[in-house]
Amino acid sequence: MFEPVEVYQKDGKVLKIFHDDCNAESPRDWDNLGTMICFHRRYNLGDPHDHGDKDEFLFALLEEAIGDTTEAKRKLDNIRAKIDRKEFRKYGQYDKAVDDAILEIAEKCGYIILPLYLYDHGGLTMRTYPFSCPWDSGQVGWIYVGREKIRKEYGVKHVTKKVRDRVVAALESEVKTYSQWIEGDVYGFVLEDDKGNKINSCWGFFGTDWKKNGIVECAGEEWRAVVN
């Protein structure tokens, strides 16, 4: 077996913590609140989807938010007509202006949408706000949830600011967990007796806080006073 990243001993038992390089399930296979749509030339990121590009996705989002294909097309035509194509293209901002206008309509329809940025340099990291290095990073998509799903999940009729803040925190948490997965920041443990016989093992713990990520709880509370 590969080398452990941490080893702890207590009462004749040995707790070994390893990188989970093979068994970690993608957190996007879980029952998530948000839908994560990404576009990248080299990597398959986020949730599976059939959108050919981000424009196709954004129109589908607009159509879903409005609930009518014809009205969505009319809205998109109006957006394009209002934006000065020549002026925005001069600064390379036309597509972004159209995208932002579509997202604004969806948000007015009760959708909560966060951008997704990827940093790609010797490994991958994702978060909901830009990285400082533009050469190795950029926006790759969005994570979003609609009003009806929010109402159902939180058992509310009205999405108040308090509920919205909880939703944003939940979406950010999903992105953080997914980033840990693509970074390889996932671990497991093997608990052995003093002769090296396996007593227990479990895998798929995210992050290096062994007391919070579930390893201590699973291995046994007696390890809480031992692990760092």
pLDDT by residue for the chain (228 residues), tens digit each?
Answer: 589 999 999 999 999 999 998 778 999 999 999 999 999 999 999 999 999 999 999 999 999 999 999 999 999 999 998 887 767 766 668 899 999 999 999 999 999 999 999 999 989 999 999 999 888 999 999 999 999 999 999 999 999 999 999 999 999 999 999 999 999 999 999 999 999 999 999 999 999 999 999 999 999 999 999 998
Q: How many helices (H) and strands (E) does the chain have?
A: 7, 8
Query: Domain check: are 149 and 82 in the same one?
Result: yes
Comparing CA positions, the residue from 213, 211, 215 lying closest to residue 228 is 211
Residue 228: predicted pLDDT: 86
Query: Domain check: are 196 and 167 in the same one?
Result: no
- At residue 222, the 3 state secondary structure works out as helix
Query: Domain check: are 16 and 122 in the same one?
Result: no
| 153 belongs to a structural domain | yes
Are 104 and 112 in contact by the 8 Å Cβ rule? The answer is no
Query: Domain check: are 146 and 114 in the same one?
Result: yes
Query: Domain check: are 12 and 62 in the same one?
Result: no
The range of the structural domain enclosing residue 205 comes to: 6-24+185-223
Residue 122: predicted pLDDT: 87
Residue 126 CB neighbours (<10 A): 26
| 20 belongs to a structural domain | yes
Counting beta carbons within 10 angstroms of the beta carbon of residue 189, is it exposed (0 to 12), middle (13 to 18) or buried (19 or more)?
A: buried
Alpha carbons 177 and 165: distance in angstroms, whole number: 18
Residue 207: predicted pLDDT: 95
User: How many independent structural domains does the chain possess?
Assistant: 2
Query: Domain check: are 125 and 82 in the same one?
Result: yes
| 81 belongs to a structural domain | yes
Query: Domain check: are 193 and 83 in the same one?
Result: no
Residue 86: predicted pLDDT: 67
Model's pTM, two decimal places? 0.91
